Structure 1
Amino acid sequence: MAVIGQSSPVRWAAPDGPWTEPDLHLFPPDGHRYEIIDGSLYVTPPLDKEHESLVAALVGTLRSAAPAGWWVCDRLGIEIGGSNLIPDVTVLRPHSSGSVWAEPADVALVAEVETEPSRRCDRLLKPAVYAEAGIARYWRIERAPEPVLHAYALGPDGYEPRGTIRGADPVKVDAPYPLRVAPGSWS
C-alpha cells in the first residue's frame, strides 16, 4: 500500500462546474503551466532552456527601454472574466493596480513565445481572449530556425498585423513604448 507523499501521485477531483482561479492552487509547482480559458483548464508541458532563454532576452530588451514607471514581467497572470492566463511576458502601464492577477486595463502588451504544444493556443485562442479584453498589443515569437517577432495591434475586429521582424539588425517599434528590437540576437 502506497502512502500519499511517498511514491503515489496526489489525486484531485475536477470541479463540478467551470474551473476558477482558486482551483489553480490545486496544482504543484511542477514546471507545467496551468491556465483557465472560459472555465476550461489548459495545461502546457514544462518549457525547455531555449524557450526560457528567449523569454529572458525579450524581458531584457523591453526592460532596457522601459520608461520610468513601466513594468516588464515574465509569467504575470492576467484575470480576464472567466479566464486566468499567464503570458510569457507582460508589460504593465505606470500606476497599475499591483494585484496578484493583473487587470487587462493595466496591460499594454502581452507576448507569447511559441512552443510546439502551445502553437495553436498562442496563434488562435489566447490572442482572441487578449483582444476581447482590450489589451492593445500582442507579440508572438516563433523560435525556429531563428527567432521571429510578429507584432499585432488591436483593431475593431481583433488583432491586426503590424509587422514581422527578424534578424540581428535592430528595428524601431513604437509600442508599447519606443524601442529597438532585434529578434535574431535573442537566440
Structure 2
Amino acid sequence: MTVVGQSIVRHPAPDGPWTEPDLHHFAQDGHRYEIVDGSLHVTPPQEPPHDTVVAALVATLRAAAPEGWWVCDRLGVALGASNLIPDVTVLRPHSSGSSWAAPGDVALVVEVVSASTRAYDELLKPALYARAGIGCLWRVVPGADPVVHALGLGNAGYEPLQTAQGADPVRIDAPFPVRVAPGTWV
C-alpha cells in the first residue's frame, strides 16, 4: 500500500506465490521488498549510520576490485523462488548484467546487520545464499566499533574465514584481496 497525495494505492497480492514481476508494483520508497520462497518480505528503510557503512564498504571494495569485477549496492540476486537484495553484491567479470543477478555471477554478498533485520541477516538470508552456492558472505555488525565477519561456503553452510575490527587495516582474501578498516567507517 502506498499513500499518494491523500489517497491510498493498494498493490494487488498475487493469487499464488509472489514472483519477481510482482516487485515492480511497489514504489521506490526506501523499503526493501524481497521474496523468500514465494512469500513477500518487507524491511523498513534503514537509519543513516547503516547507509554510511554500506557506502564505505562499496568504496573499499571498488578500490580493491580487479579489473572487470562489479561492486554494487542493493543489487538483487535471483535464487529460484526467492529474490533477495543484499546491501552489497560483488559480481564476477563477464556476469550477465541482468537486473537480478544469477547466483553463479555473484562472488560475494554483504549484509549490514541492523536491529530490524538481525535474524533475517544472520539466519535466513545466509541459508538461502548458501543453498544457491554463493561462495562468500560478509556479515557487518555496525556500531561504535564495527566488525566484519568474512565467511566462506563450506560443506555445512558458511564457515568463518576472518574477522576485521578497529581502525587498523586487515587483509581479507575473499573474493579478492582487500584491506578493510571498519573502525574508520563511523
Partner of 1:122: 121
Partner of 1:153: 152
RMSD: 1.1
Consecutive unaligned residues of structure 2, counting only runs of 5 or more, are none
- Cα deviation, 1:8-37, whole Å, max 9, x if unaligned, reads 211123212111001101111111000001
Partner of 2:175: 176
CA distance in 2 between counterparts of 1:35 and 1:132 reads 17
User: Are the counterparts in 1 of residues 148 and 182 from structure 2 also a CA contact under 8 Å?
Assistant: yes
Task: Give the letter aligned to residue 33 of structure 1.
Answer: R
Partner of 1:86: 85
Which moves more between the two structures, 52-61 or 4-13?
A: 4-13
* 1:19-38 alignment runs, 5 A limit: 19-38=18-37
- Cα deviation, 1:61-116, whole Å, max 9, x if unaligned, reads 00000110000000000000000000000000001011111000000000011111
Partner of 1:96: 95
Q: 1:185 to 1:6 in 2, by over 3 A?
A: closer
| Deviation of 1:162 (Å) | 1.2
Which moves more between the two structures, 64-73 or 11-20?
A: 11-20
Task: Give the letter aligned to residue 59 of structure 2.
Answer: G
Partner of 2:38: 39
Question: Equivalent pairs: percent with the same residue?
Answer: 65
TM-score normalised by structure 1 residue count: 0.95
Task: Give the letter aligned to residue 106 of structure 1.
Answer: D
TM-score normalised by structure 2 residue count: 0.96
CA distance in 2 between counterparts of 1:110 and 1:91 reads 6
| Deviation of 1:147 (Å) | 1.1
Q: Any idea what SS the aligned residue of 2:115 has?
A: coil
CA distance in 2 between counterparts of 1:176 and 1:157 reads 19
Q: Any idea what SS the aligned residue of 2:100 has?
A: coil
Q: Any idea what SS the aligned residue of 1:13 has?
A: coil
Consecutive unaligned residues of structure 1, counting only runs of 5 or more, are none
| Deviation of 1:145 (Å) | 2.7
Partner of 2:185: 186
Task: Give the letter aligned to residue 60 of structure 2.
Answer: T
Task: Give the letter aligned to residue 180 of structure 1.
Answer: R
| Deviation of 1:6 (Å) | 3.3
Q: 1:103 to 1:6 in 2, by over 3 A?
A: same
CA distance in 2 between counterparts of 1:5 and 1:183 reads 40
How many equivalent residue pairs? 184
Structure with the larger strand share = 2
| Deviation of 1:161 (Å) | 1.1
Task: Give the letter aligned to residue 40 of structure 1.
Answer: S
